[in-house]
Amino acid sequence: MGNEHDQGPEPIPPAQPFAPPPGPSRGGPPPGGPPLRGAHPPGPPPGGGGGRSRRKTAGGVVAGALVVALLATLVVVGLFVGDGRLGDRPPAPERTAAAQLRRAAARLADAAAARYRGVVAAGGKRSRVDLRVTRHGAAHGTMTVDDDELRLLAVDGRTFIKGDEGFWRSSGMADEDLLREYAGHWVGMPPAELGLDVPGTLAPAELGRAVEQEAATTGVLVENALLDGAPVKRVTTARWNVYLAATDPRRILRIETRGFGDDELRRPPMVPRIPTVRPDPDGPATVQPAAARGGAPTGEFRLDLTFPDEREIGRWYEELQGGVRELTDSVDPRVEFSLDGSIRLSPCDVNGCTAHVRVTNSVPADGSTTAPDRPVHAAITITMTLDGRPVRTCRITRTMRPNGSATASCRAGFHIPPSYTPRRHIVRAEAHAVARPLARADVDRILRDLRAQRSAVPTPTPTG
């Protein structure tokens, strides 16, 4: 039998499919694994012939290993060229879900309006909402607190609620004059007390851009889920759980903040507390300040989304404009008023009496509803009685600088006839003041802005 090793290294067979070797070694044979085909096991060949043959064999094994490593490298490079996918395998589910979420978020950002129905949270307490929000954040709808349904309006960066007398009484308001000012009127509410910045968070343009950016810059998780019995894709980002339609076109059907639970719905702390300034014991005049400030917003929600057609959008804008026209009688509860001294009655005689009052406003330092440089519009009401009988009520509007003062006067005319038995008659005057957040010029400007936004509504919009 001849010495096979004197004939040079055996040819290397075609490379087998590449499997990366375990362990830290690069390019070496797999530890404990079978030798490459065509290479002899280590040790001297039968019949002697020593070192030269072993050197040739070792050279052949090394050459074969280099060829296999080179082929394996080519295979790996070939797998990763092109569109970045591994061969013909489908992309990772998370990568697909992130792309679908970006497209759905862009579609939301381009929508002319969206309707949100669900639950928002403030301080761990919940209220139900049904809101119609335009692309730029103008909104109207309802908020249900316990059994009280409130109307909600958001325009010009401000949010208002409207409740009936029963709601305000249950919220702790006892002053009859203030009840008349609050009940059935729009009352400004800062986002901190609602628990959600409606125009800043739910405007389709704002929310769509925020979701799109997060889907593009953070990792996502995806799973199959059911929403109202229908299959959907639930995509979880750093901040939200987003439910996408299972088929094209992918739309956002629900969005909720992560960790949103199912706690019982209770009255949230957005209902203002009403501190009372007691009457001066030496005089009948009183001025009632407005609501106390609340805590920070939580911004937690779980909301289902649908999109209106062109006809619905037109109807929404009409309803918005109707609400805006009522804002001339709205109330800013964060501006408080105090009475400077007591009401002065002078001159007074048998034909009438004039009441004079001076009030000072106090604007919150955080400027949550009234900007530090924005004037305060005070609606001052003076009520006068003669021997307990109402003789005159004056409603006066005064504009003053923030934390400034203003005066108002009310003249009550009456006639006290001469008498053979003169007696003492008592004239009393009472006053209260509330802040109007918007003047007539502000309301007219907002209406013009809404008309311009309505005329610029793009078509078509998503339907659903």
Tens digits of residue pLDDT in 217-265:
888 999 999 999 999 999 999 999 999 999 988 999 999 998 776 544 3
- Pair 430, 390: CB distance under 8 Å: no
What pLDDT was estimated at residue 287?
A: 31
Q: Do residues 449 and 322 both lie within one domain?
A: yes
Domain limits at 448?
A: 96-273+294-330+443-455
User: How would residue 167 be classed by pLDDT, with cut points 50, 70 and 90?
Assistant: very high
Residue 126 and residue 144 in one domain: yes
Residue 43 has pLDDT above 80, yes or no: no
Q: Please check whether residue 112 lies inside any domain of the structure.
A: yes
DSSP state of 219: -
Query: Would 378 be classed as within a structural domain?
Result: yes
pLDDT of residue 341: 82
Whether residue 441 is predicted with pLDDT greater than 60 in this model: the reply is yes
Instruction: Mention every residue, 6+ apart, whose C-beta is less than 8 A from residue 337.
Output: 287, 288, 289, 290, 359, 360, 361, 362, 378, 432, 433, 434, 435
Instruction: Give yes or no for residue 62 having a pLDDT over 90.
Output: no
Percentage of residues of the chain with pLDDT beyond 70: 68
Do 323 and 341 share a structural domain? Answer: no
Q: Please tell me the pTM assigned to this model.
A: 0.68
Residue 46 pLDDT > 50: no
Is 242 contained in some domain? Answer: yes
CA distance 307 to 460: 11
**Quick one: 340 and 223 in the same domain?**
no
Same domain? For 230 and 107 the reply is yes
Domain count, the chain: 2
Do 223 and 139 lie in a common domain? yes
Do residues 249 and 370 share a domain? no
Question: Do 345 and 362 share a domain, yes or no?
Answer: yes
pLDDT of residue 419: 84
pLDDT band at residue 58 under the 50/70/90 scheme: very low
Tell me which of 48-57, 67-76, 319-328 is least confident. Answer: 67-76
Confidence of residue 194 (pLDDT cuts 50, 70, 90): confident
> What is the arrangement of strands in the sheet containing 113-122, beginning at the earlier edge strand?
187-188, 158-162, 148-155, 139-145, 125-134, 113-122, 300-306, 252-257, 240-245, 230-236, 221-227
Same domain, 252 and 343: no
Alpha-helical (H) ranges within 253-350 are 310-325
Structure confidence at residue 82 (pLDDT): 33
Q: Does 208 reside within a domain?
A: yes
Residue 87 binned pLDDT confidence (cut-offs 50, 70, 90): very low
% the chain with pLDDT above 90 = 52
Q: Name the amino acid, one letter, at 168.
A: W
Q: pLDDT digits over 389-400, tens only?
A: 999 999 999 999
Are residues 324 and 430 located together in one domain of the fold?
Answer: no
Q: What is the pLDDT of residues 308-339, one digit of tens each?
A: 998 999 999 999 999 999 999 999 998 999 98
Q: Do 261 and 403 belong to one domain?
A: no
Whether the per-residue pLDDT at 67 is higher than 90: the answer is: no
The stretches of 333-394 forming alpha helices (DSSP H) are: none
Residue 161: inside a domain: yes
More confident residue, 260 or 124: 260
Residue 387 domain-assigned (yes or no): yes
Q: From CA 36, how far away is CA 60, in angstroms rounded?
A: 11
What pLDDT score was predicted for residue 12? 39
**Residue 105: which CATH number?**
2.50.20
Q: Is residue 148 part of a domain?
A: yes
Helices 93-109 and 204-217 meet at what angle, rounded to 10? 160
> Quick check: is 18 in a domain?
no
| Mean pLDDT calculated for residue range 281-306 | 51
Whether residue 212 is found in the same domain as residue 133? yes
What is the mean pLDDT of the segment spanning 404-424? 91
Q: What is the pLDDT of residue 262?
A: 52
Say which CATH number the domain at 364 has. Answer: 2.60.40.10
Closest CA to 202 of 193, 188, 213, 191: 191
